[in-house]
Amino acid sequence: MNTQPVYQARGVTKKYGNVLALDEVDFSVAAGEVVGLVGDNGAGKSTLVKVLSGAHRPDHGELLLDGSPVQWHSPQEALGRGIETLYQDSSLAPDLTVSANVFLGREEVVPGFWGRLGFLANRRMDEVARQELEKVGIAVPSSTRTVSRLSGGQRQAVAIGRAAAWASKVIILDEPTNHLGARQSAEVLEVIRQAKEKGLAVVFISHTLPHVLEVTDRIVVLRLGRVSMDAPTSTFTPDSLVKAITGLSGAA
């Protein structure tokens, strides 16, 4: 794993009125690394995700991509630089096929005259979608099957697979195993491992601490808008992680 950060936040501060949501937060993730981002409700996780994804601009501090400062004016700018964010609502279209969801908003048209009339290259998109999903270990019965016919775990895996297919640098996953059963969660965690093997930097936000401990390389704990701990996952136990989150470990 490359230890050089591909994406960094340095001294990021964000206020909403009188509420200090983020206070001088430093955060980083390297290519081929899965970083867990954890904390109690109100710790600042959602705000940090919004800053990293380009949805919100920080009041102070800076973001660096491959070591160079960047400023996002919209999530589309971050998407264009290879940063994909999957929120708790995966935003899949249930009545569309798997491949149509993978290419949602990025549809390809057939070459030539028919393409100028807007005819889609469905056969090519089906094949590319199948290949991209297979790269991150997702096996769906058919890329032409509608999403509504998939299990909850398969749907979430497709959503992550879509992000992995288009991300060239970073995937940010916000509670991807929320409301999933054990088998379905295992499928999603395997997709995260495959994204790591693909060389992507993965940020994994979750309240499900066993999943965080299972799949991450490093854990960053936010508390009251500040980073209270940033350490390799191997240094945590379930008990010590809970204490770090709740502030019972002696961390500030």
Q: What is the DSSP string of 6-71?
A: EEEEEEEEEEETTEEEEEEEEEEEETT-EEEEE--TTSSHHHHHHHHHTSS--SEEEEEETTEEE-
Q: Is the pLDDT of residue 249 over 80?
A: no
Over the stretch 168-214, which tens digit does the pLDDT of each residue have?
Answer: 899 999 988 877 778 778 878 888 888 898 899 999 999 999 999 99
pTM of structure: 0.83
Band (90; pLDDT cuts 50, 70, 90): low
Which of 202, 201, 150, 218 has the alpha carbon at shortest distance from 180?
150
Q: Is the pLDDT of residue 8 over 70?
A: yes
Domains of the chain (ranges; CATH) run 5-97+155-246 (3.40.50.300)
Over the stretch 104-135, which tens digit does the pLDDT of each residue have?
Answer: 777 888 888 887 888 888 888 888 888 777 77
Q: What is the average pLDDT across 70-80?
A: 93
Band (251; pLDDT cuts 50, 70, 90): very low
- Rg of the chain over CA atoms, in angstroms? 19
Q: Is the dihedral of CA 213, 215, 220, 225 positive or negative?
A: negative
Q: Is the pLDDT of residue 2 over 90?
A: no
Over the stretch 217-242, which tens digit does the pLDDT of each residue have?
Answer: 999 999 999 999 999 999 999 999 99
Determine what percent of the chain falls in helix, strand and coil, rounding each to the nearest 5.
35, 25, 35
Q: What was the pLDDT predicted at 136?
A: 66
Give me the amino acid identity at 4. Q
What tokens were used for 113?
């005259």
Cα separation of 142 and 130, whole Å?
A: 8
The number of beta carbons lying within 10 Å of the beta carbon of residue 200 is 25
Which of 180, 224, 122, 74 has the alpha carbon at shortest distance from 191?
180
SS3 220: strand
Over the stretch 131-176, which tens digit does the pLDDT of each residue have?
Answer: 777 776 666 666 777 888 887 777 877 888 787 777 789 999 998 8
Per the model's pLDDT, the better-predicted residue between 3 and 227 turns out to be 227
* Furthest-apart CA atoms within the chain: distance in Å: 68
Q: What was the pLDDT predicted at 74?
A: 93
Q: What was the pLDDT predicted at 63?
A: 97
